[in-house]
């Protein structure tokens, strides 16, 4: 449910308020009349009402969300530290075990040693 009565009226183009009034058929309530407070334009149904809050939420819909960044360019031939047997990673840093220094995953290194496909357990 959208509790906000603020709308952006398609008829008058203004930021306005939604006027709700019960509609009766004789004494029986048959629905609601939904009208623009500024110009009196009547909406056919609640689904047609351009609620202002709703319109703002749509700006941040799922499709507009930035895609997760691809951190690494997948190229098997690159001598990247992150592909190296000496490279270790922990929550605090990325570490080259050979040079005993901090490295970046995308660094390249002349002492690159490819990690063997069947991984040897690190001792
Ligand atoms: Zn209006």
- Tell me the pairing of strands 87-89 and 6-8: unpaired
Residue at which a domain ends, from 44, 64, 84: 64
Evaluate whether residue 121 is within a structural domain.
no
CA of 44 to the centre of ligand 1 (A): 14
Same-domain pairing of 98 and 55: no
Range of the domain at 47: 6-64
CA of 16 to the centre of ligand 1 (A): 7
State the pLDDT at residue 2.
Answer: 45
- The low-confidence residues of the chain, meaning pLDDT below 50, are 1-2, 55
Evaluate whether residue 57 is within a structural domain.
yes
State the pLDDT at residue 13.
Answer: 95
Domain count for the chain, please give it.
2
CA of 12 to the centre of ligand 1 (A): 4
Evaluate whether residue 33 is within a structural domain.
yes
Per-residue pLDDT reduced to its tens digit, 47-64: 999 998 654 555 555 555
Same-domain pairing of 23 and 60: yes
**33 vs 42: CA distance, rounded Å:** 7
**Residue 37: which of 61, 68, 5, 63 has the closest Cα?**
5
Contact call for residues 68 and 76 (beta carbons, < 8 A): no
């Amino acid at each position: 449910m959208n509790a906000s009565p603020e709308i952006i009226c398609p008829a008058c183009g203004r930021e306005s308020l939604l006027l709700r009034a019960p509609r009766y058929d004789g004494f029986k309530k048959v629905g609601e009349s939904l009208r623009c407070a500024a110009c009196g334009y009547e909406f056919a149904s609640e689904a047609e009402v351009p609620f202002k809050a709703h319109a703002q939420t749509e700006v941040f819909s799922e499709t507009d969300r930035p895609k997760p960044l691809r951190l690494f360019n997948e190229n098997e031939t690159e001598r990247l530290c992150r592909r190296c047997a000496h490279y270790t990673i922990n929550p605090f840093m990325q570490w080259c075990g050979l040079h005993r220094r901090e490295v970046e995953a995308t660094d390249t290194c002349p002492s690159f040693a490819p990690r063997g496909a069947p991984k040897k357990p690190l001792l």
